[in-house]
Structure 1
Amino acid sequence: MSHHPALQLAVQIQGSGYPILCLHGHPGSGSSMSVFTRHLSDRFQTIAPDLRGYGQSRVSEEFEMATHLVDLEALLNRLHIRRCLVLGWSLGGILAMELALTLPERVSGLILVATAARPRGSHPPMSWQDNLHTGIASLVNRVYPSWQWNIDTFGKRSLYRYLIQQHTTVAYRYLADEALPAYLQTSAYAHRALNQALRSGYNRLEALATIQIPALVLAGECDRHITAQSSLETAQHLRNCQFKCYPQVAHLFPWEIPTQVLADIDQWIATQPDAVCPSHLFQ
């Protein structure tokens, strides 16, 4: 386990009601979960921290992945949250599963987006042209969000072609507002902590059998970062799980088809009352 003391994470809290902890991916920040928090905070209290080394949760020393769990437990304690639903995207989904494994009494349900307990990618090698086009597309898109010429000229030839499948103006608006700032704020320490975990062959599939709470696993058919197949494998190891795979979208699919994703989350929540209103609170 981690030897670091907990960091007081920067956090965005919206709405009121049963708490939903929203965990971002890499690179990311609490703000990059706005596609979920804006919608869910109508009915729930959404809690979207910047993980250690991301956004405003700045660090000046190396850490390992387990340290995120120390920070998140401290956050729940600080906010007096006994139990919550956890929604995690990509790396956030891995941390959501780890929270359910290490603090089972505090997690009432899991919504796992573009993630896996044994993550596997199918990303082709990156060329310098890919990086150049991505840089240009990102900067132009920041100044002129969703400009079709930039999408066609640079966006579709950049690394965005692996992150999104449908090059919609909606997706590019999210890329401008949230992806680029989060990327620029992600520390080298966070990059190294993640790479270290992936190099060590991260695999928690066998442990998932102990998770009894309801889970929803959502995947994008064309995800090259964490393949839909590895998300399906995770869903099959969770005992109480629904799985949905969306066609013709990739790793950032909540930004490609937000309306559909949010409707499916709403529907799942409606069928899993224990995930957002655990009965023991009333006993």
Structure 2
Amino acid sequence: MQSGMLEVNGTKLWHLMNGQGLPVVLLHGGPGSYDYMEPVAEMLTRDYQVIRYDQRGSFRSAKKGPYHTAIMIKDLEQLRMSLGIERWVVCGHSWGAFLALAYTACYEERVEALIYMSGTGIDPDWHQDYRVNRLKLMQAADREEYTYLRSTVEQLSGKEQENALNRIRYLSAGTDLFYPERRHLLPKTESPYLNAEVNASVNSDTANWMVKNDFRLQVRKIRVPSLFVHGAADPRPAGYAARLSQLLSNSRMKVLPQAGHYPWIDQPALLCQTLRDFLNNYNLEKS
């Protein structure tokens, strides 16, 4: 096992590398969150070399901007170079799925395969459908509290605003599981586990990327084997990821029943089998 800080692209990134075999890099979501994908790594390290890291500005990595999509992509590429890896599988979750897609579009020659987990596609309209679904999934009391906090949080400041934002994230995260009794297994959403500056800046920049014609053309040219995985109960509608999957010529989509946004919490055995089946067999299907 190798872990610690690496000088990458003018900043320091915390990373951990474990296992042997085909390299697989795991990209956490947020943006501005932290490496919460240890359960996924544990599914793979027996047969694969798994790389995890905290992205720029996140938790154990240096809090050094700028924070935008292009620099996150460059960080990932320079991390690959620093680790001496020629080609790897990129596996991203939530916003990390977008990072995996964008990295593949820019550096496809360095990508063995793409795994896009619980992503939201490249149609900005997903936001509205997600908001509607999220509210529907909340209990009445939580929905009332969430709506009130969202309407008042901008009027607050300092610690009071931070507490309100943490409560909003907590209530929102409760809709992300099919089995709510497993809520204690969810990634942490409060400071220092979430960098709000990174989250706001990169989310805004990602929205701009989604509507760029040149980026959409790059995505259509992706030829590496690609697996799209989505929970059937994720409030972020699977249809947006499915439409993105259809743009790629060598892609398949797997919707997991009774799973929400974090399929390794709701359906760990099924997710493990899905990932391993893809990684064990994708070489036979490379175009």
TM-score after normalising by structure 2 = 0.76
Answer yes or no: is the 8 Å Cα contact 2:245–2:252 preserved in 1: yes
Hey, what's the Cα distance between the residues in 2 that align with 1:233 and 1:183? 34
Answer yes or no: is the 8 Å Cα contact 2:33–2:195 preserved in 1: no
- 1:49 paired with 2:53, answer yes
Structure 2 residue aligned with 1:149: none
Hey, what's the Cα distance between the residues in 2 that align with 1:60 and 1:201? 22
2:92 match: secondary structure: strand
- 1:212 paired with 2:228, answer no
Answer yes or no: is the 8 Å Cα contact 1:28–1:183 preserved in 2: no
Answer yes or no: is the 8 Å Cα contact 2:57–2:195 preserved in 1: yes
Hey, what's the Cα distance between the residues in 2 that align with 1:242 and 1:110? 11
- Cα deviation, residue 132, structure 1: 10
Answer yes or no: is the 8 Å Cα contact 2:39–2:264 preserved in 1: yes
Q: Which moved more, 1:179-188 or 1:43-52?
A: 179-188
Task: Go from structure 1 to structure 2 and tell me whether the alpha carbon gap of 1:64 and 1:128 turns closer, same or farther (over 3 Å shift).
Answer: farther
- 1:38 paired with 2:54, answer no
Structure 1 residue aligned with 2:145: 129
Taking the TM superposition and a 5 Å limit, the aligned residue runs for 1:84-95 are 84-95=88-99
- 1:113 paired with 2:117, answer yes
The letter of the residue matching 1:80 is G
Answer yes or no: is the 8 Å Cα contact 1:8–1:71 preserved in 2: no
- 1:79 paired with 2:74, answer no
Hey, what's the Cα distance between the residues in 1 that align with 2:91 and 2:112? 11
Deviation sequence 1:32-89 (CA, Å, 0-9, x none): 1112111201111100010111121131444212110111111111100110011110
Structure 1 residue aligned with 2:138: none
Answer yes or no: is the 8 Å Cα contact 1:8–1:74 preserved in 2: no
- 1:29 paired with 2:34, answer yes
Unaligned regions of 5+ residues in structure 1, if any? 134-153, 279-283
From 234, 248, 262, the equivalent of 1:238 is 248
Hey, what's the Cα distance between the residues in 2 that align with 1:46 and 1:253? 19
Answer yes or no: is the 8 Å Cα contact 2:67–2:202 preserved in 1: no
- Cα deviation, residue 210, structure 1: 1.0
Deviation sequence 1:112-142 (CA, Å, 0-9, x none): 1011441523224876723999xxxxxxxxx
Hey, what's the Cα distance between the residues in 2 that align with 1:181 and 1:208? 30
- Cα deviation, residue 165, structure 1: 2.1
TM-score after normalising by structure 1 = 0.77
Structure 2 residue aligned with 1:143: none
Hey, what's the Cα distance between the residues in 2 that align with 1:7 and 1:182? 23
Answer yes or no: is the 8 Å Cα contact 2:25–2:89 preserved in 1: yes
Hey, what's the Cα distance between the residues in 2 that align with 1:90 and 1:62? 21
2:234 match: secondary structure: coil
Task: Go from structure 1 to structure 2 and tell me whether the alpha carbon gap of 1:43 and 1:132 turns closer, same or farther (over 3 Å shift).
Answer: farther
Task: Go from structure 1 to structure 2 and tell me whether the alpha carbon gap of 1:106 and 1:60 turns closer, same or farther (over 3 Å shift).
Answer: closer
Number of aligned residues: 244
Structure 1 residue aligned with 2:14: 10
Answer yes or no: is the 8 Å Cα contact 1:28–1:182 preserved in 2: no
Question: Higher strand fraction: Structure 1 or Structure 2?
Answer: 2
Answer yes or no: is the 8 Å Cα contact 2:234–2:260 preserved in 1: yes
Q: What CA RMSD, in Å, does the superposition of the two structures yield over aligned residues?
A: 2.8
- Cα deviation, residue 198, structure 1: 4.5
Hey, what's the Cα distance between the residues in 1 that align with 2:20 and 2:258? 35
Unaligned regions of 5+ residues in structure 2, if any? 1-7, 136-142, 150-166
From 166, 176, 197, the equivalent of 1:189 is 197
Task: Go from structure 1 to structure 2 and tell me whether the alpha carbon gap of 1:88 and 1:62 turns closer, same or farther (over 3 Å shift).
Answer: same
2:56 match: secondary structure: coil
Hey, what's the Cα distance between the residues in 1 that align with 2:50 and 2:16? 8
Answer yes or no: is the 8 Å Cα contact 2:59–2:193 preserved in 1: yes
Structure 1 residue aligned with 2:72: 68
1:72 match: secondary structure: helix
Answer yes or no: is the 8 Å Cα contact 1:22–1:88 preserved in 2: yes
2:200 match: secondary structure: helix
Hey, what's the Cα distance between the residues in 2 that align with 1:250 and 1:132? 25
